[in-house]
Amino acid sequence: MTGRLVLLALLAVAVASPAGAEHEIFYRYTVLGYVNDAAGKPRPGQTVELIRDKTGFSYLGHTDEAGLFVIVARLGDESAGESLTLRVGPTQQRLIARFEATNHTEERGTRVDVEGPRVLERPAAFRATLATLLGAPRP
């Protein structure tokens, strides 16, 4: 019985160890933004889907009362330049995961706003938007 407990403990440690690395900054890519109708009013409760074109794997998010969505995808260093598709209802936009693969200190991601049928990627606004969401001072 004790041997089984030791084996189970070792197995749990072996399985759990790599999972910790997936929470590191260099394993995530965040896509965030706002979904509004053509008149500029927020669209709460909308499903937002981010698809990795290479694998077909999708990540789902939903907009809040302000129309804000946040999707965190698992993209490692090797995924720099990978094609992604953002979909909100019938509206979709192809994105490219742009980040410096050697930078393991700054958050990776982009801001994408959906305004009616238009999709506007605003990567320069990503860090400020993320900082605001996290309650941190703007960089």
The mean-pLDDT minimum among 11-15, 20-24, 99-103, 121-125 falls in 11-15
Average pLDDT over residues 20-44: 88
pLDDT at 22: 56
DSSP state of 137: P
Which helix (H) or strand (E) segment holds residue 129: the answer is helix 126-134
Q: Which of 115, 111, 64, 66 has its CA nearest to residue 88?
A: 115
Residue 15: pLDDT over 70: no
- Measured between alpha carbons, how far is 32 from 61 in angstroms, rounded to an integer? 10
State residue 24's pLDDT score.
Answer: 79
Question: Tens digits of per-residue pLDDT, 75-123?
Answer: 999 999 999 999 999 999 999 999 999 999 999 999 999 999 999 999 9
Report the predicted TM-score, pTM, of the whole model to 2 decimal places: 0.81
Residue 11 confidence (pLDDT) above 90: no
Rounded-to-integer distance, Cα 42 and Cα 44, Å: 6
Q: Quickly count: other Cβ atoms within 10 Å of residue 14's Cβ.
A: 9
> Which band of pLDDT confidence, cut at 50, 70 and 90, is reported for residue 23?
low
Distances (CA, A) of 104 to 4, 108, 122: 39, 9, 22
Statement: residue 48 has pLDDT above 70: yes
Strands 28-36 and 68-74: antiparallel
